[in-house]
Structure 1
């Protein structure tokens, strides 16, 4: 009878990053700029790989998939967050909140597995260069990408099912800028024990074990690089991995800090900065990291610009 008399929450209010009125407009402009750079950068990377035949290799197929994940991840979070800067109350319905939570989980988990797949690709390329095309065939690459998205949807479905079983009847203010795991658990009237166990079990697999797998891959890669006799060969091998190491460090570092600490009141406030890194900053940085430090991408970009200019000049001439 007690549960029947409780009022179930039908909508939430997102608290946002800050309540300071003076910061609303500057932050809106900053994050709008970041979002535009993220979308243009990631879609640009996908288009560049699609139209550059010499980039049609497993490494760049995986990179284009990472760009797609980053673009989707940012789109799931940022537009709704931007609304919070220009409205007094950023209201989100229960259904929209659960949908945002679900797709956030899909792309966050998918990115974990995609970074692991890219680490394995680099391991094969450096440790077994002669067998690379055999081991990382088109079919294998396709199955790896399918597995990445499969694990993303599988994990997100498990998280979402148990989240939707919770009863929300307390205050409806989510102390965050999107519908994230711990801020939602904080509002639940029912027991969250199963949700916390699920997070730690699946989270250990999707974050910690994958991070250890990536670390192990790079230990083998470093050993292989040290066995290369020429200095030029070592530098070339290391340059193909340095971008990935940087992307992995930023993403896994912020993700681990967010989800593997006690969900206390203080940690929820401190976690907003960490969340900004893996939901907004990392998707923007990845195209820059992989393009600025990659000669093949730079060459492909120059060729594509040259083709566009050539066709434009011909059309103007005619």
Structure 2
């Protein structure tokens, strides 16, 4: 088994962190579940590719937030932070499977906005439902391939002690450092995998939104341009919160740094909470659909 060093050894600080993480985890589950239910029961939103992808993003966020948070909450209460080898590998696999799928999905959502804004006449034909399903399946398959590659490289390494992981969950950088062999080649392969995927997707996203902003330059005065700009700005906020920490952690040879833990907190705990807030507070259609849902629950007839 491995020993997780966590974020702090101070008991009062651990209890404070327990309350904060519990609040973030509950808000993540409730907020993202609300988005999924709202999109699912509203026919207008469900037929829109953008909101269909948004509901899937919320599903991924609920799952991604559940990879590390429950174990972290238990460790903060019990003062004991150990995890079995199998549990560690499972955390590592699902973290990269869900994280990779989310990165590809965000890239797909940027492509959807690009087609809708820059090529509106062919949008309906390009983003037909069966094509959206195929693109979504490709995102999940890409995440699975990325995660399986990471796992195969890690399980081949020999571990003979010490067994202390300098984090609150299992991730590739900390696990590789515990190998009883020179893992420099594995580190480079990991950086080439996770780091380059994060960087390439991030650059593609920035390029897509750059083209969108140039296209919208002459439409800021009308309602359509302002609505599209608001939607794209919400997407850019989410993209920055996810990709910047990932690029910082994975796009360099592995080393110990307190900043790595802070970055890890962002994309495992905080980002799944902020996604529903960003998308609901800045999106009039989602807020109106939620009002209709609430009215239907209170006045079903």
Unmatched runs of 5 consecutive residues or more in structure 2: none
CA RMSD of aligned residues (A): 1.3
| Equivalent in the alignment of 2:120 | 129
Structure 2 length-normalised TM: 0.96
Distance 2:130 2:223 in 1: 32
| Equivalent in the alignment of 1:150 | 141
Distance 1:58 1:252 in 2: 23
Check whether the contact 1:159–1:195 (CA below 8 A) recurs between aligned residues: no
| Equivalent in the alignment of 1:246 | 237
Are positions 1:19 and 2:18 aligned together?
A: no
Any residues of structure 2 matched to 1:1-318 within 5 Å, and which? 11-56=1-46, 57-228=48-219, 230-265=221-256, 267=257, 269-311=258-300
For residues 75 and 232 of structure 1, do their structure 2 counterparts lie closer, same or farther at Cα, with a shift above 3 Å needed? Answer: same
For residues 238 and 229 of structure 1, do their structure 2 counterparts lie closer, same or farther at Cα, with a shift above 3 Å needed? Answer: closer
1:118 positional shift? 0.6
SS in 2 for 1:227: helix
1:233 positional shift? 3.3
Distance 2:233 2:89 in 1: 37
For residues 173 and 229 of structure 1, do their structure 2 counterparts lie closer, same or farther at Cα, with a shift above 3 Å needed? Answer: closer
Check whether the contact 1:108–1:152 (CA below 8 A) recurs between aligned residues: yes
Distance 1:238 1:117 in 2: 18
Distance 1:262 1:87 in 2: 33
1:229 positional shift? 7.1
* 1:270-303 Cα shifts (integer Å, max 9, x gaps): 2111110011100110011001100010010000
1:86 positional shift? 1.1
* 1:125-157 Cα shifts (integer Å, max 9, x gaps): 111112111111101110111011001110100
1:223 positional shift? 1.1
Residues paired across the two proteins, number:
300
SS in 1 for 2:79: coil
SS in 2 for 1:190: coil
Check whether the contact 2:195–2:247 (CA below 8 A) recurs between aligned residues: no
SS in 2 for 1:250: helix
SS in 1 for 2:6: coil
Larger radius of gyration: 1
Unmatched runs of 5 consecutive residues or more in structure 1: 1-10
Distance 2:9 2:99 in 1: 27
1:246 positional shift? 0.5
Check whether the contact 2:202–2:243 (CA below 8 A) recurs between aligned residues: yes
SS in 1 for 2:245: helix
Distance 1:201 1:299 in 2: 43
SS in 2 for 1:13: strand
Moved more, 256-265 or 64-73: 256-265
Check whether the contact 2:280–2:286 (CA below 8 A) recurs between aligned residues: yes
Distance 2:150 2:65 in 1: 20
Moved more, 85-94 or 110-119: 85-94
